[in-house]
Chain A
């Protein structure tokens, strides 16, 4: 019984994690940029949802398009006017740049919103389906679905639209893409903005289940890195696989080994996968060799 419940817990958690890691994996796969500011965009999305809920009492799920729009715009500006200035330099310069952006956004948020802990607790919190003793909370289920739906949408976008194909082409071979007329600068900007939008959506979802604060983002950037690598860079479906694996590993690890070792298991898993299958679960072998 406990096992079954924990399997459900693991799957639900996995869906959420996939949503968190989605944007991060996209940016890394396409632009070879490790976006340390990812957590900051999640945090901003969470705050947008909170403030809308606080002032207008609108259901948090409905606020998602608004937070996505806001973070999309923010990501667009950041990429176009800051990151694009440095993106051809050494990979680690960009890394440090995103780090600087993260520090700035976190502390700006601290100054504006203050560090009081907040959360969105709608009236239906705690309600859920009861499948013969196994509880599936509505909120968690919705979050899982929305995260997976966003992943599906993103995948559709990448495969079926012209811009999406251009993004995929850029991630495969930048120079070749340029040869066929893809404007790399524009693609990078769109990709980053999309990533930020998805992060914002993840933030909105998280706002309903955690305590929001300006410094909440760092943990999620971390997890996103874990999941993106595990699932395979450059693979959107891989993000789902990675998320589910981490979600299940944490839940099962807690039950069968010990709650204290939960995070440890996650990292050991990561290192193992990187050593034995560096392209991740669903990534293509091509991406394992990253030139720097």
Chain B
């Protein structure tokens, strides 16, 4: 009982700290945290379809890109305010997921993964070629927001923070409801789930649409935040990979796993960057290998039991051939 209490207390303290952070952290760290929140949202929403439902999408970056581009196009070409652009972007992503989910969600496992990857790349190529609308490979730049840098940064900080909280709440709410159980049933054994009357197609579509919505939201905010987007940058498969890594680092299929994973991953990257300028990229590779071998359930799983070397070695015993 007291364990759960501690969990909630530390969460509250964490939230308070994060809310107060822009007051005492430098602009750089505010930016880093904003980025963490952004990836946390993406990882969390990826987790809805992948961790809970068991459908790992390798193409979720497509929603990030679509959100970003919709926002930019509406703001630059149609002179719409930012909020309109962002919401429109998120809605477009949801529709995209629903329409394309129809054929693609029928595929399973690796096939689904590759199909979503194909979808993301195809969309990128399409956006790059439709120059009249998207300015193609040149990219779109948004006007710089006038005003005090600190205030602007704080605004984006809270925007991303807010979206992150909403995403977490949604995931939590969903996990406790029939929706969440249906997802997990689908992941465990889809045929069995169908037999018990769960309309798998319907639920999968909801999962992917929710995933698309939140990712599209942060894509739109991101566009305004960095003031410049191009196809290679926002439809980048590296973004999807990051979502994946963070979710697995933290623990897939859990509510807080992806969030924890996002924080750990970003902070590790920061550390490695600043201190190992020449070898940091290779170092990252080694790190990933070590994490997968010793902590395959993610940090959340590790935290459920006791942290010990024997536990980590047991992981290998469990997973080795």
Contact = CB atoms under 8 A, between A and B. Distances in A.
Interface of A: 28, 32, 34, 82, 84-94, 96-97, 99-108, 110-111, 184-185, 188, 222, 225-226, 229, 258, 260-261, 263-264, 267-268, 270-271, 274-275, 278, 288-292
A157 to B, nearest CB: 22
Interface majority SS on B: helix, strand, loop or mixed? helix
Contact of B282 (A34, A111, A264): A111
Nearest to B131: A260
Contact of A88 (B56, B115, B320): B320
A267 B125 contact: yes
Interface string B287-321: 11101110010000000000000000000101111
Interface in B106-161: 106-111, 113-115, 117-119, 121-122, 125-126, 128-129
Nearest to A88: B319
B111 A99 contact: no
Nearest to B316: A85
A100 B285 contact: yes
A34 B292 CA distance: 15
A100 B319 CA distance: 18
Contacts of A32: 110
A100 B321 CA distance: 20
B54 interface: yes
B281 A103 contact: yes
B105 to A, nearest CB: 10
B91 interface: no
Contacts of A97: 288-289, 292-293
Interface in B184-217: none
Contacts of B14: none
Interface size class of B (residues with CB under 8 A): 35 or more
Contacts of B291: 100
Given A275-B107, A292-B54, A107 B115 contact: no
The residue among B118, B121, B279, B281 with the most chain A CB atoms within 10 A of its own CB is: B118
B296 A90 contact: yes
A85 B319 contact: yes
A289 B56 CA distance: 15
Given A100-B292, A292-B54, A278 B107 contact: yes
Nearest to A233: B110
Given A89-B319, A107-B281, A107-B282, A263 B248 contact: no
Given A260-B128, A264-B122, A291-B109, A111 B279 contact: yes
B253 to A, nearest CB: 10
B109 A290 contact: yes
Contacts of B245: 96, 99
Contact of B111 (A101, A268, A288): A288
B226 interface: no
Interface of B: 54, 56, 103-104, 106-111, 113-115, 117-119, 121-122, 125-126, 128-129, 241, 244-245, 248, 278-279, 281-282, 284-289, 291-293, 296, 316, 318-321
Nearest to B126: A264
Contacts of B106: 275
Contact of B285 (A91, A102, A258, A260): A102
Contacts of B113: 34
B2 to A, nearest CB: 32
B137 to A, nearest CB: 10
Given A93-B296, A288-B108, A292-B110, 20 more contacts: A28-B110, A34-B113, A82-B293, A84-B321, A85-B293, A86-B319, A87-B320, A91-B110, A92-B56, A96-B248, A100-B291, A103-B281, A225-B117, A260-B125, A260-B128, A271-B115, A274-B107, A274-B111, A290-B109, A290-B110
17 contacts: A85-B293, A85-B320, A87-B320, A100-B287, A101-B285, A101-B289, A110-B282, A111-B282, A184-B321, A260-B128, A260-B129, A270-B115, A271-B103, A274-B107, A274-B114, A290-B109, A292-B110
Contacts of A291: 109
B318 A88 contact: yes
A87 B319 contact: yes
Nearest to B110: A290
Contacts of B286: 100, 104
A278 B285 contact: no
A34 B110 contact: yes
